[in-house]
Structure 1
Amino acid sequence: MANQQLGKIGVWLAYPQATPELARELEALGYGAIWVGASPAADWAGYEALLAATETLTVGTSIVNVWATPAKDIAATYHRLAEAYPGRFLLGVGIGHPEHATEYTKPYDALVNYLDQLDEHGVPRERRALAALGPRVARLAADRTAGPLPYLTVPEHTAALRAQLGPDALIVTEHKAVLDADPATARATARGTVGFYLGLSNYVNNLHRYGFDDADTAQPGSDRLIDALVAHGTPDEVADHLLAHVRAGADQVAVQPLGGDPLPILRTLAPLLTAKLA
């Protein structure tokens, strides 16, 4: 599979959480990448700060919104970082959500146009990735980028992507985690994040492809849905749940910790994930 230097485990964090100090510790713990969630504008100084603070960690954007950031601007950022930190910056781009974009028309065409512009500005195919859920955009991701970045999904989807796209596409799947062995409180924590996405049609439609119905995806999400989308339980149970994506064909699972400070969860999970992958 593609881009083995990423390693099998990464971390997905909303960009305000992604500090240089945290990145250094994640690298020491054995995580191969930090995916900067809700990625800010192309000129955000944080990308360089994260790379400068580490030696091998890949920094990926998840995602730069094509409606909000001109391709020429993020291309300039890519080239600056690629020159200073070769092979360590991965540009994830995506279309965002129709509910949040006033100009959300012909999204597939918009993605193609944006990728064309990245080509024109010399961003290599293998150093960019595309947020993708459905099969059409997943195919575009494989054809025009290193591969897809699925978010808020299940291992069955990861397996379907691998079957569709073959062995060479890079697949990095985000998955949420709560270290809490009490199902009631763990689900309450999970719903605090997942509920937002149940109002977005692209995620709901994708979940319907994988066995969930309207009753599952109605707010605040059924227990069955929450249990599938958010790994919770003992540390061992959480690690097994997360690695189901790797077993299904993902190159990397990007762990998104929920419930406050991400470091305690990531410190606990790192040796378990590493051991289970050995």
Structure 2
Amino acid sequence: MAVELGRYGVWHGPQHWGPELAAGLEQAGYGTLWLGASPEADLRDAEVLLASTKSVAVGTSIVNMWKTPAADVAASYHRLEDDYPGRFLLGVGIGHPERTGAYRSPYQTIVGYLDDLDDAKVPVDRRALAALGPKVLQLAATRTAGALPYLTTPEHTREARRTLGGGVLLAPEQKVVLETDPEIARSTGRDYLASYLQLSNYVSNLERLGFTGEDIADGGSDRLVDALVLHGTAVEIAAGLKAHLDAGADHVVIQQLGREGVDLLPGYEALATVLQ
């Protein structure tokens, strides 16, 4: 893999990112900053993260294939590679039928998009694919550097590694709440999970993992919320993150949840001290 990601990275949408948080996370020792929530084709938000830091990697998780023409994002990739060589990984994905009016065959759309990236000379080892089910995981293994599963568990990571085989990037995302009161932590988790549990791609994957309709209903059962949103002390959360590595992940993408406006950096710094 051409981009060195480190063991742990941090995921947020562009509304949470800024130069101060980016620089602080690099100083804390995180290997990659992940830009979520379907960034625009010009990748200017990714450029801000690269410009705010010295050597940390930056990745997209993910550029939405329906929203972003491959030729446009490829041109932005080449601009970033010219300006910040070796530091950017282009994560792409198909998105969700509930949020895309023109949704058609997902698999063929992914294949065609990757073909277009080939034509635009985006190297296979500098791109990764959002993948949950076996078919798309296999595609990630053969057409990209590897897979970026979102809203998963260590059990999914273990199955994904079996599907991908060795030598292929596996970088699952894991949500966390630094809160020792389980009821408060679960309330925070449920608030964030509510919209995701309405999306068929995620629901199907959770059902494959053994969760039931009762688990998924009404914001999620305690069992589901505890699996998708780790909570507790930094030491307890670190053990849950390490479970992904033990299950076969190369890199774990951490998303800390908290109240709007709360400074997230201290929590990430506390986690970093026990993860290193």
Give the TM-score, by structure 1 length.
0.96
What is the distance in 1 between the residues matched to 2:128 and 2:19? Answer: 23
What TM-score do the two structures reach when normalised by structure 2?
0.96
The equivalent residue for 1:54 is 53
Instruction: Return the alpha-carbon distance in structure 1 between the equivalents of residues 254 and 222 of structure 2.
Output: 20
Q: What displacement does 1:21 show? A: 1.7
**Cα distance, 1:264 vs. partner?**
2.2
Q: In the comparison of the two structures, how many residue pairs are matched? A: 273
CA contact (8 A) 1:3 1:170 kept: no
Q: 2: CA distance between counterparts of 1:111 and 1:247?
A: 30
CA root-mean-square deviation = 1.1
SS of the counterpart of 2:175? strand
Q: Bigger shift: 108-117 or 46-55?
A: 46-55
1:209–1:200 distance in 2 versus 1, CA, 3 Å: same
Aligned counterparts, 1:244-259, within 5 A: 244-259=243-258
Pair 1:268 & 2:270 matched: yes
The residue identity in structure 2 corresponding to 1:80 is R
Give the whole-Å Cα distance in 1 for the aligned partners of 2:47 and 2:188: 32
Aligned to 1:95: 94
Query: Is the 2:230–2:240 Cα contact (8 Å) retained in structure 1?
Result: yes
Task: Give deviations 1:23-56, integer Å, cap 9, x for gaps.
Answer: 1111110000011011321114222121112121
How far apart are the structure 2 equivalents of 1:204 and 1:238? 24
Which residue is 2:120 aligned to?
A: 121
Distance in 1 (alpha carbons) for counterparts of 2:233 and 2:27: 23
Preserved CA contact (<8 Å) 2:81 2:88: yes
Given residue 181 of structure 2, which amino acid in structure 1 is its aligned partner? D
Deviations along 1:67-109, one digit per CA (max 9) or x if unpaired, are 0011010000000111111110100000110111111110111
Amino acid at match of 2:273: P
Tell me if structure 2 keeps the 8 A contact 1:9–1:255: yes
What residue identity is the alignment partner of 2:271? L
Distance 2:13 2:166 in 1: 29
User: What pairs up with 1:47-86 in 2 under 5 angstroms?
Assistant: 47-86=46-85
Q: After superposition, what is the alpha-carbon deviation per residue over 1:120-159, rounded to whole angstroms, capped at 9, x for unaligned?
A: 0000000000000000000011110001100001001101
Unaligned ranges ≥5, structure 2: none
User: Is contact 2:3–2:86 with CA below 8 Å preserved after alignment?
Assistant: no
Q: Is the 1:4–1:251 Cα contact (8 Å) retained in structure 2?
A: no
Q: Secondary structure at the match of 2:230?
A: strand
Shifted more, 258-267 versus 26-35: the winner is: 258-267
SS of the equivalent of 2:169 reads coil
Equivalent runs, 1:1-278 vs 2, <5 Å: 2=1, 5-260=4-259, 261-274=263-276
Paired residues of 1:178 and 1:190 also in contact (CA < 8 A): yes
TM-aligned CA deviation for residue 3 of structure 1: 5.9
Aligned counterparts of 2:99 and 2:67: Cα–Cα separation in 1: 11
Q: Tell me, in whole angstroms, the C-alpha distance in 2 between the residues paired with 1:255 and 1:11.
A: 5
The residue matched to 2:115 in structure 1 has which SS? helix
Question: Which amino acid letter does the alignment assign opposite residue 234 of structure 1?
Answer: T
Q: Distance in 2 between matches of 1:3 and 1:182?
A: 41
Moved more, 253-262 or 85-94: 253-262
Q: Aligned AA for 1:271?
A: T
